Structure 1
Amino acid sequence: MEALILRNYRDTDATAVSQLFREVYGDHYVQSDVYLPCLINQNHAAKRWHSLVAVEGERILGHATLYRQSESSHDAELALSVVHPDTRGKNIATRLGAQLLTHAQALGCRSVSIKQVTHHPYTQRMAIGLGFHNTGLLPDYVRSPFGGKTPESIVLGVRAIDGYQRPLPEQPWPTRYRAFMERMTAVFGCSPSAAYWRGPSVQVQQHGNRHEMLVEKLEPELLDQLRTLPGHWLVSIRLQLSRQFAVDLHSLNAIGFAFTGLAPAQDNPGGWLTLFHRGYRTRKLTLHCPHMQQLHDQAQRQLTGRAMAAV
């Protein structure tokens, strides 16, 4: 049996990588680019993807990517991790991830994020082993990559690259989330001020059934407009974390949005976004991280409470 080696992705790997995703996920993988080898090569040529593959002889049995929105971005995502069932249990995904984290430092990245599925605990365990800290929960985030009828909820993890910090704005945290926020400041540090905002103050995109908003500041006029959005919509708000967190939390809770943690602000280096959601489903999840379990349980109780109040 030939030894399994890890090496950099080559353009000639595109078809085999695409086939690997098909063998593992069938037609259900959420990133459509992997089904078109030409797009796999195009993403590498544009330096948005930096991939490693696990190879045994001529056969590609594993793949993972460091994804950046642009070549100059200081933030990256560890993504597109897939391992053939024949080699599971050999820590291939962890080995690929560890090498890519070293590569992230060489690229000048300051932090790396990872999206972990909740259908099973394996990627959650892997992320902890690679040094990621879980910061947020994304309910009903993508269609199930496992062929399930309900959307997949995602745990978001972040790892600061050695030598860099991503501080949260210093403030008194609301009692209900104090333990979580103090954990985040212990890991990522704190600062007297928030990061500088770049780009439009409000942006909206639709991803399947999810309406995702990126918001700099929760102005009263915007809050009134959010209140009038159709009740059956799944609305996800990423709001800049500022020293007004307690006020923003109260205002959005009052119109049905639940807080589910933090995410790094990709277009605003060093900044953080607070995650709020409305329109997600009632569901039970057993999560590897106690902080994420608490955020999920609190959001579910809020959903149940509003349903009972409406009867």
Structure 2
Amino acid sequence: MIFRPFRASDARAISRLFRRVYGDHYVQPDVYLPKLIMQHNNDGRWQSMVAVEGCEVLGHAALIRDGHPSNSPELALIAVHPAARGQSIATRLGRELLEHFNAVAGRYVLIKQVSHHPYTQRMAQTLRFHCTGLLPDYVPSPFASPLAESLVVGVHLLDGHTRPLPDIVWPDSCRGFMQHMCSVFGSTQGASVYPAQPLHMQQHKHRVDVVIERLDKRLLDQLIELPQGWMISLRLALSPSFAEDFQRLSIKGLIFTGLIPAPDHDRWFALFHRGARSRHLDLHCPHMQRLHDHLQHASRNVTQTDRSAA
């Protein structure tokens, strides 16, 4: 079996591989058009690697960039032919991509691990990704499940680079988790940097994503007034007032689910979620398992409180 970078002649075979593995349910529709696979690799948005045996493509993985070309990429688009499973093909493809990217340029790589099965999570641990946060009910399931797929965020720091967290007071309920994150990524007393446009909201099918740089009472009141039926996935920039913000959001039913790197300025966002669906997950990382279990417990309590108030 040969592991090599993408060639234009691979595009149709890659598309067939995704159909074989995921049927018609893969969350990234571009894989169903070979011309788009070629286009994304040609323009640098994707950097694909394939596992080939004879003339058959048995595995695919890619580093993908969304938005600005300087943004750190995500290890994604992973598919392995059912007949070739158990040979660590996905791990080997991921390692090839990380080594190549590390040699070219970059600071860190993200991965969003599916929670439906443990394979991606185990692969991410083998490749030295550190789990930092949970994105509940985040994308339609590629396995035809009626429930949306929850994702585990992983961060792989490339050689010689750091991503420290701010040295601030952590809330009691997440102090153990934050201290673990600081032990992994370090901490710094550097001042926070805020962009010119501090608030962003976008609809993603069943979910509303909100990005907040600074939270004040007026904005908090407006967030709470959003329709109760909306599922909200919120990212809040870490700042010296995080402990206070954490408490105010938690009281209003927005539950903490970990961290994710901000795409700029070496900063971090805290993740909060409202409207999680009830489900059982067995996650590979014990820190992510605790975040999920707390989310489920807190969401049930919020629902019961709302029913009592009604």
Equivalent position of 2:25 in the other structure: 28
Separation of aligned partners in 2, 1:281 and 1:90: 35
Once residues 239 and 231 of structure 1 are traced to their aligned partners in structure 2, the CA distance between those partners, rounded to angstroms, is 20
Q: Which residue matches 1:287? A: 283
**2:221 matches 1:224:** yes
Partner of 2:212: 215
- Cα-to-partner distance string for 1:106-146 (whole Å, 9 max, x where unaligned): 23110011011111111111100110000000100011100
Residue number among 142, 147, 154 corresponding to 1:145 in the alignment: 142
Deviations 1:182-210 (A, max 9, x none): 11111111110255333521111111111
How much does 1:152 deviate?
0.7
Letter of the 2:187 partner, please give it: C
User: Are the equivalent residues in 2 in contact too, given 1:76–1:113 (CA < 8 A)?
Assistant: yes
- What TM-score do you get using the length of structure 2 for normalisation? 0.96
- Unaligned residue ranges in structure 1 (runs of 5+): none
| Alpha-carbon distance in 2 for matches of 1:70, 1:205 | 15
Q: Report SS of the residue matched to 2:178.
A: helix
Matching residue within 160, 163, 167 for 1:166: 163
Identity %: 52
- Paired residues of 1:116 and 1:123 also in contact (CA < 8 A): yes
Inter-partner Cα distance in structure 1 for 2:193 and 2:131: 24
The gaps in structure 2 that reach 5 residues or longer are none
Letter in 1 for 2:279: R
Aligned to 1:186: 183
Change in 2 beyond 3 A, CA 1:269/1:16: farther
CA distance in 2, matches of 1:308, 1:70: 40
**Alpha carbons 2:276, 2:295 under 8 Å: kept:** no
Q: Look up the match of 2:251.
A: 254
2:296 pairs, out of 284, 296, 300, with: 300
Could you tell me how far apart the structure 1 residues matched to 2:266 and 2:114 are? 25
Runs of 4+ in structure 1 deviating by more than 3 angstroms, as ranges, are none
CA distance in 2, matches of 1:42, 1:215: 34
SS, match of residue 295 in structure 1: helix
1:255-276 per-residue CA deviation (whole Å, 9 max, x = no partner) reads 110000000112x141111101
Deviation at 1:302, TM superposition (A): 0.8
